[in-house]
Structure 1
Amino acid sequence: MIRITPETIEEDLTGILICSHGSIGKSMIEAVQMIYGECQNIACLGLEPADDIDEWGAELCRLAGSFPKGAVVLLDLFGGTPFNQYLMKTAGEALKQNEGQAYAVTGVNLGMVLEAVGQRESAELERMPEILERTGKDAVINVMDKMKK
């Protein structure tokens, strides 16, 4: 299990949790820190082949619920194991027992993570999925088509 967790949690700042296969989330956090510097309330959880799926899912639920103001969970692949674990664990009572709320978006890319960090102080948590979905789609550009215009 690849895991990066905040050393301290700021109570009035929305959390960002990147859940993925392998080290995608870790690399994205490193890239975000190159651009923004040190960031608070950002975590990742990467699934590795040897991981116990139930333990991994329980950790996902624990991390998602650890942010008092709630969290946006950015998942790598719709229908993948991190996505499935998110649905199974958060649809039940496990996340409800924690204080925070979590909203999820799949197809995480660096543009989405940067937008999440930039918007989370001003945007309401409930609006973050819509904002990040649009940002993620806008970040995908066919360069050859763009160059022809």
Structure 2
Amino acid sequence: MTHMILVAHGKLAIETKASGEMIYGQLPMVSAVAFSKEDGLDSLSLKIKEICDQQEGQLLILTDLFCGTPYNAGCKVAMEEPERQIEVLSGMSLPMLLEGVSRNATTAADLASIMKLASSEACRSFREQQIELEEEF
């Protein structure tokens, strides 16, 4: 099983995991890392690496913003451990997390693909959906 590490600005990762557990139940395959104002790239990378060192197998690091410090720290850890399959995704959301924990993907890369698709499908517009329904009738 692929272990997921959520990393985001402030306490977003911790709260996203807590929200996921509210819906799905305990998520032992998910860790969360807070990124505070006092942290920098190196200290955040160290936090991520400590979690990676406690896990066996493949990892998926899910971050909030593309090219933000959490994303860059995840990429740094992935580049420092090329022998491990570590995938890094940005755009973390609750639907993305729930899709990831409900799937039994064989690799971190497969899980990343599933979660990217779930992310794009989760964003919906009421107005657009209302128009589509009106056109059907």
Q: Structures share a fold, TM > 0.5?
A: yes
Compare the two structures and name the one with the higher helix fraction.
2
Q: Which runs of 5 or more structure 2 residues have no equivalent in the other structure?
A: 133-137
Q: Which of residues 119, 123, 127 in structure 2 aligns to 1:136?
A: 119
Are positions 1:22 and 2:5 aligned together? no
Distance 1:41 1:15 in 2: 5
* Aligned residues: CA RMSD: 1.7
Sequence identity (%): 21
Deviation at residue 96 of structure 1 after TM alignment: 4.5
Does the Cα contact within 8 Å between 1:41 and 1:67 map onto a contact in 2? Answer: no
Does the Cα contact within 8 Å between 1:17 and 1:43 map onto a contact in 2? Answer: yes
Counterpart amino acid of residue 26 in structure 1: I
Size of the alignment, in residue pairs? 131
Q: Which runs of 5 or more structure 1 residues have no equivalent in the other structure?
A: 1-12
**TM, length-normalised to structure 2:** 0.86
Does the Cα contact within 8 Å between 2:71 and 2:89 map onto a contact in 1? Answer: no
Counterpart amino acid of residue 58 in structure 2: G
**CA deviation vs aligned residue, 1:84-113 (integer Å, no higher than 9, x gap):** 112223212xx357xx53212110111110
Does the Cα contact within 8 Å between 2:10 and 2:34 map onto a contact in 1? Answer: yes
Deviation at residue 52 of structure 1 after TM alignment: 4.0
Counterpart amino acid of residue 79 in structure 1: C
